[in-house]
Structure formats: structure tokens, C-alpha cells
Amino acid sequence: MLNRARLFLVICLLLGWAFLWATSGLITEGIWFHHLGYGDVFVKIMSTRVTVHLIIFVVTFALYFFNLKLALKRTNDSHLEEAFLPPMLQLYREVIINRIPAKGLNILLILIGLGIAAYTTYQLDAGWAIWLQFLYQTPFGIADPVFGLDTGFFVFSLPVLEVLRNIFLSLLLWLLPITATIYVVFNPSQLVGWHSAQLKFSQKHLLVQAGLLLLLIAFDFVLKALRLTLTPNSLFLGAGFTDVYVRLPGYLVSGVLIAILALACFRGFKKWRFKGLVTGVVFTLIVIGLVTVAIPSLVQRLMVEPNQFAKEKIFLEHHITMTQKAYGLTEVEIRQFPAENKISDLTAYQPTIDNIRLWDWRPLQQSYNQLQALSYYYHFNGIDVDRYQIDGQLRQVMLGAREIDFDRFEPHVQTWTNSRLRYTHGYGLVMSPVDEATANGLPHFFIKDIPPAGTHGLTVERPEIYFGELTDSYVITNTKLKEFDYPKGEDNAETVYQGTGGIKLDSYFKKLLFAARFRDYRLLVSGELHNDSEILIHRQIVDRVQRIAPFLRLDDDPYLVLEEGRLYWILDAYTLSGNFPYAGRTPGWGNYIRNSVKVIVDAYNGDVSFYLTDPTDPIALTWQKAFPSLFLDLADMPPGLQAHLRYPVDLFRIQAQIYAKYHMDNPLVFYNDEDAWKIPEERYLAETVSMEPYYTILQLDNVSEPEFVLMLPFIPAKQIANMVGWMAALNDPPNYGKLIVYKFFKDRHVYGPMQIESRIDQDSEISQQLTLWDQRGSSVIRGNLLVIPLDGAILYVEPIFIQSEQSSIPELSRVILVFEDQVVMARTLEEALEQVFGQLPDRTTPAEKAPALSEEIGQNYGQLARQAKSVFEQAVAAQREGDWAAYGDYLKQLENLLNQLSPIASPGEEDTEGSSQSEP
């Protein structure tokens, strides 16, 4: 008895552990959602998933069990006339069928029903999201051109109808042969005599199922008719002439004929005519083939193709209009850019010149990792571009987060204690202006080092990064072992997490849950943990946000923001659909896209906030109705973070690609591709790559106030590569999200990016110098070619980086400037501008200009000293590169500056020949 009790206890423990093992992920996920304040979101998602699965399971089980039970019951009825069965069938029933107990058959049917229901639920689960969208759908207010239905029907309702079609079509396609098999196995005589006028019950049963299947096929033809507006043809996406006037009626006729066949099956209960049904089936198949395949093909070839534009014109208009609406391009403002190739006053555009981005993010990332990682386990995973107010001016900067990459540790260091308890977070950031470099060609830092040291009033009070791009594992804080904070001399600074991002492990049951979830027994046995220890999970920010809102598409590039001394991540989230009628599709994105949600993640606490930025987006409003506590209004976002919102690159790239073709409103021009554009190419390293959108600060339309914009030029899609225009997305409030397209006059030639690249290659001095550097143990990196609109003219700027074979630190060595017919290469942008325009804009900030006359001498001294230091560093760089001509020029400049410094340093002394006396 005791052994049985022990066995029972062991079995219970094993079953309990198996249950905990299977459900720990779900339970801990619920705890995590609740900890973040999104418990209702978790409940809504899980209840929807359970409800959908349960309904599919119950419907499938009921459909199969009761149909098979009914079939089995009829085969066992006592009135079956076994005397009329052939001898072999009588022997089959006596030897096999009659010996199967009824209880065993019931169990078998239950098992069959449960198995099919489970399989169907698993295979036909279309997800929970479409059901919530269907229940909470918001009208678009845009009617489709063919049926007059609101676009919301195609986005929210049509997917649900197609899922229901798929589910029931699959169920009935399997139910019919399985039911027939039951009759064949248990009473084959029930399927004999289809030619007789009076049908048996089994035959009526199968006819009902066949009728239901035919009704479902008829419904499928209706859905096909609706989907014509979403189906591509040879010319565009959407219903064309043949679709609307031939194929659409053909689908409806086919649906009606099949529905008539279904009614004939039901009518067979009273009056059955086998030959009539067969004749109807053959006739229906012939008609379907004619109206859906043969006739549409003939009409397309004989009527449409000989006069395609005339037939398709109105549908082309639908396609153009709906595509523009789907991609948010109906409000694009078109302006004319004069391209006069002259700049009246360069100094008036100093804010733009001061923010020309010379640093390409790829070489800069290498520089950050070499110069500012500071320890081998730190890594800058990416470089972000943003703007900050520096000394009262809007400055464009580049910055990166210093995170711990645990894969960089030696294998013997990658212990559980180190990875989970000790090395828990990254530390700080690095920030540098986009347009400045030292004399050695290295970045000039606004924020650097550990602890972060900032200039120009930039301070970092909470530099720890517990939630980032590389934090892809869980950690435990507030343990008996202090956390590594940052390297400090021969020792290390240590810390204890004070944030709110952790879940307390204040009970053994919680430890058991997380141990089961992560399959990690050390959570149970480690002596470093106590009741105040906290576990931080889902620390990778993209994964963290995606788990809360899996119905949103997240941008691939989160970016870091420094605000009031704290670090935040901003992520762009998109609402997508592939069911917008007549709109052209973008591979991987569907044919409707909006950046309606901005997500803020606190890098220290892990708090996640969702802000609705586009209240006109019906999909975003639908999700807001489904999850009312999830989304906040944009007005609730702190103003400091609002100032750092950026128009996302992914969205802008897609819109630019679409606009390059769909700016042609005239259907004839669109049909002939007369004015199609494309995104140009540029050179990077030795490759030709597609030009990427880039952020810059511009003064648009002679406006003195600088704007942070995202821009991209256009060139013609065919033949010539001159530039025809450029698109800009404004980023600063109150104009955030506004799209502007600047077009050049068609009678003026404006160089395209690849034409500029060719001009650079054809310049003998520049190409010779670049080739020489490439052959002297170093490689030349040609950075992004920037197109800078300025005062009705276009500047082209391309930075040149040199990277030696012994060093992985790229140096900003030269700047190439192209304007009109001039191509110059200089050490700095200022020198290049001076060579082209004969003037050097004043780049000193207001903080460097002291108005008091009493400080004028000191100001002059400081300015000359800085210039002397800069010239000296440039001379040293020229000497290192073997450029002796430049070295001599810099020495002459240095001599001139020192001569100017001499009287300022000793204002009371006069150097007179033959006298060493001076007045006190």
C-alpha cells in the first residue's frame, strides 16, 4: 500500500512538473504583461485566441461526430434487408462488423472527431488579429470603384469571410468521403441503387453534405468576384475591363449555377433523378469553363489588347488614385525648384552648411567601436542621426549606445553568474556632430568616455542601458552579488539596480515558474538570490514591443534619444494591409502603410509607451478600440521627446518608390511611362548601390529657419541619369510628416548622383590621388554622396575616408565639393567652399562671440590660438601622408598666425630694432 502511495505521489509530481513545464511560458508572460501595466492587453489577446480555437474545435468535432454517429446508427438499424446482400457482404458483416461492440464504435467516433478537430484547429488557425479587426473595424470613408463598398470591408471583413470559407471547405471536403467510408465499411448495401427513384437514407445523407459543399463553392465564386479588385493583371493591380465586364459576371453566373446544383441535391429527398443531376453537373462545368476562362481570354485578346488604353483608361485612373491614397501621397505638396546654379549669399545659409553630414554612418560606427568602446566587451550596434539644440542652434548629430555584447567575452568568462547577475547592462552613449572632425580625421565628440562627459550643456544622469538592441537575455538584479557598472582604472565600479523594470522573485513558486520557462535550474539553487531579487526579461527592445503589440510592424532601426539626462529608445510602428482595392503592392509590406504609432522605451526602467500619431488611420483606430488602454494621445508625450520624433526611413523609402511612378496623374502618361522616375544610385567602396534616404538640416524656400528633413533625389527611370527632382519629409513640429516634392524645370540640366560620381572619377587630380592612396597600404572609402539644395542651386558633397591596413579606424581625410562645372577636393568643407565661392562662412557659435569690448583682445587671442592649433594639426597630418606641398603651405599659415599672436600676447611691448627697453 505504501509503495502504491509513493508511486501515486511520484506520478503526481511528474504530471505537475510537466504541466508547469508546458504552461510556465504563458503564466510568466501574463505576470510580465501585468507588471508593465498591460494586463488587460494580455487578457484580451489570450481570450480571443482561446475563443477562436475553441469555436473551431467545437464546430469541427460536432460536425464530424454527429454526422459519423448518424451514419453508424443507420447502418446498425435492424430493418436492413440483409437477405438481399450478396453472400460475400453477408459474410463480411457477420465475421467483422457484428462483432465490434457498440461502445467501442462510439469511442472510435469520439477519437476520430477529437483528432480531426485538433488537427483542423491547428492547421486552420488564421490568428486572432483578424477577428478583433473584424469586430472593432473602423470605416475608411473610401469606396472601392467597382462595388461601391467601403474599403474597410476589404481590409477587415473580406479576410474573415475567406478564413470561414477555408475552414468549412476543408471540413466538408473531408467529411463527405469519411461519411461515405463509414457506409461502405459498415453497410455497403446502403450505397447501392443510385439509379432508383427512391433513395436510401445514406444516399440522402451524402446528398445533403454534397449540397452544403456546393453552396460553399458557390460562396467561393462570390469571394472571387470581390477579390478581383485585389488581383493583379498584366497592366496594374485591380479589376480591368475584362474583369469587370466579363469575368465578374462569369463568377456570379457560376455561383448561381452551382447554387442551383446544391438545391437539386436537397430536392433529391422528394424527387430524385440521377441522370438529371449528372447532366446538370456537366452543363455547369462547361458553362464555368466558358464564362471564367475561355470568354475572358477571347475578350482580352480580341477586344482589349488591340485598343488597350481606351478600354483600360478608367481603371488606370482608379489604380493611380487608390494607390496614392493607400500610401498617403494625396497631400504631397509640389514646388518648383529653379536650379539657377548660382548662390547670391552663401553666408545666409550657414545653418545648412554647418549641418552638412560629412560622416557616413558605416565608417563612423567603426570609429566609435575603436575609439569609444573602451573595453572589448562594449559594442556600438548602430549609429543614429538626430538633431539637438546646441548653444541655441539646431545641430545635426550622430550618436550610438554603448552596450555589452556578451558574445565578446572569452568562453571561460561566459558563466551563468557573469551573464545573468554580474554584467547586466550597457553604459552611456557617444555623440558627435555630423560636420566636424579633428585634424587627424577622427570624430569630434560632444559626449564621450565613461562615465559620459558632455560638452555644450549635454549631461547624462542615468547612463545605464538595461534595455537595448543587444540585451537579448534575461538578467537578475538586486542579488547578493553587486552588478558591474563600468570599468574604472584598475578596478571596476559596481552598482545595484534601482529601476522598476524587474519582476520580484519573492516566492519559491515564482522562481519555479521562471526556472521552468527558461529551462534553468540555477534559478532554484543559486545562493546569490533572495526575496528582493528581480528578474528582467524581454530586454531586447524590438522583441519587447512586439510582444506587447504583435499586430504592429516595427521599424528595423530604433534610435536613441537623450532627454533630461535619461536615455530613451524611440521605435516607429506601422499599420499595414494587403487588401486595399486597386492599390499597387510593395513586396513585404502589402499595399497600405501608415506610421501611426510611436513607441517610447525607457532604457533604464523598460517602461513602454505607445502614442497614436495619426488619428486618421482607420487601422490604428480599430486597434485603439480593441485595446483602449494601450494607446496614448501624442499630446501626452513629453515635449522633449516630441522634439526628437523622426519621419521613418523605411516609410519614406517606400513612399518615394511609389511616388516615382504614381506622380503621373495622367493615365496616358502613366500608361506609356513617359515621366517615370526612379531612385538614383551612388558609389560606396567599389560598389554601385541604391541611394538611401538621408537626414539633413535645410533652409527650404529661402526660409532662414532651418528644418530637419529626410530627403531623396529622383532621376528619370530610363536612359539619362540627370536629376529631375527630390522629395523631402519634414520632421519638426508643427509640420511633422508633411511631404514636399521639388521639381526641376525640364529645360534645365541638373546633374544626377551617378553623373557627379563620374565627374569625380574623370577629374585627373582627384582620381590620381585616390588611386595613390589605395596603393599605399590603405583603402579609400567614398562616403554618401549628399545632394544639398541651397538658394535655388545644388551642392554635391562627398566625404572621402582613408583606412590603413594596420588600423580599422577610418579617417575623414578629404571632402569633395561639386558645384556647376567645378570639382574640388580639400581637407575640410570650409576649404572646399573657399575654393569654389572665394569666401569662408563664419562657423563660430554665438557662445564663442563675446560682445564686450573689454574682452576683445582675449577673444582675438583665443580665436587665433585655435586657428594656429588647427593649422598645426593639419600640417602634422600632411607630413604623415607625405603631402609636402601642403605641409609647406600650412607652415606658412602657421607663421602668419604666430606673427599675429605676438602683439596680442604682449600688447605693451614694441619690438624696435636695437632696443630692449619697454614701457611698464
Q: At what angle do helices 158-186 and 201-226 cross, to 10 degrees?
A: 160
Contact 48, 132 (CB under 8 A): yes
| Whole-number CA gyration radius for the chain | 37
Phi/psi zone of residue 882: left (φ > 0), alpha (ψ -120 to 50 degrees), beta?
left
State the pLDDT at residue 259.
94
Reported as type and span, the H/E element at residue 31 is helix 2-36
Residue 345 has pLDDT above 90, yes or no: no
pLDDT higher than 90, residue 610: yes
CA distances from 296 to 133, 237, 319 (A): 35, 17, 21
Cell of 214: 456546393
Per-residue confidence (pLDDT) for residue 316, from 0 to 100: 97
The per-residue pLDDT for 198 is 54
Mean of pLDDT values over 429-446: 94
pLDDT at 589: 96
Q: How far apart are CA 774 and CA 766, in angstroms?
A: 12
Mean pLDDT over 595-616 rounds to: 97
Q: Which segment of 81-95, 476-490, 749-763 scores lowest on mean pLDDT?
A: 81-95
Question: What digits encode the pLDDT tens for the residues 834-846?
Answer: 999 885 555 554 4
Instruction: Quick: pLDDT tens for 144-164.
Output: 999 999 999 999 999 999 999
pLDDT at 853 over 50: no
Distance from C-alpha of 333 to C-alpha of 740, rounded to nearest angstrom: 5
Handedness of CA 401, 407, 412, 416 (dihedral sign): positive
At 632 the pLDDT is 96
Buried b (16+ CB within 10 A) or exposed e, 19-44: ebeeebeebbbebbbebbebeebbeb
Residue 193 has pLDDT above 60, yes or no: no
Query: For residue 803, is pLDDT > 80?
Result: yes
Cell of 873: 594639426
Q: Which residue has the higher pLDDT, 721 or 541?
A: 541
Element (H, E) at 451: none
Q: If you ran DSSP here, which 8-state letter would residue 583 be given? A: P
Q: What is the mean pLDDT of the chain?
A: 87
Chain segment 4-38, per-residue pLDDT in tens: 777 778 888 888 778 888 899 999 999 999 999 99
**Enclosing H/E stretch for 404:** strand 393-404
Alpha carbon 214 to chain centroid distance?
A: 42
pLDDT at position 839: 58
Q: What's the confidence (pLDDT) of residue 920? A: 29
> All 3 cell numbers of residue 786?
549628399
Peptide bond into 638 cis (omega under 30): no
Distance from C-alpha of 118 to C-alpha of 205, rounded to nearest angstrom = 25
Q: Average pLDDT of 736-745?
A: 94
State the Cα–Cα distance between residues 770 and 763, nearest whole angstrom: 11
Confidence of residue 1 (pLDDT cuts 50, 70, 90): low
Burial 231-263 (b: 16+ CB within 10 A, else e): eebebbbbbbbbbbbbbbebbbbbbebbbebbe
pLDDT for residue 289: 94
d(CA 731, CA 709): 6
330 pLDDT more than 80: yes
CA distance 134 to 128: 10
d(CA 565, CA 461): 5
pLDDT at 96: 52
Closest CA to 729 of 710, 746, 743, 702: 710
Please write the tens of the pLDDT for every residue from 255-287: 999 999 998 888 766 665 667 778 888 999 999
Cell matching residue 296: 475572358
pLDDT tier at 548, thresholds 50, 70, 90: very high
The pLDDT, as a whole number, for residue 880 is 65
pLDDT at 693: 95
Q: Tell me, what's the pLDDT at 456?
A: 92
- pLDDT tens digit sequence for 62-116: 998 888 888 777 655 534 444 445 555 555 555 555 555 666 677 878 888 888 8
Q: What is the pLDDT of residue 849?
A: 43
Give the separation between CA 425 and CA 377, rounded to whole angstroms.
Answer: 11
Q: How far apart are CA 267 and CA 276, in angstroms?
A: 12
Would you state the pLDDT for residue 182? 79
Residue 851: predicted pLDDT:
43
Q: pLDDT tens digit string along 211-266? A: 999 999 999 999 999 999 999 998 999 999 999 999 999 999 999 999 999 988 88
Confidence of residue 791 (pLDDT cuts 50, 70, 90): confident
Which distant-in-sequence residues (6+ apart) come within 8 Å of 855 by Cβ? none
Residue 410 pLDDT > 70: yes
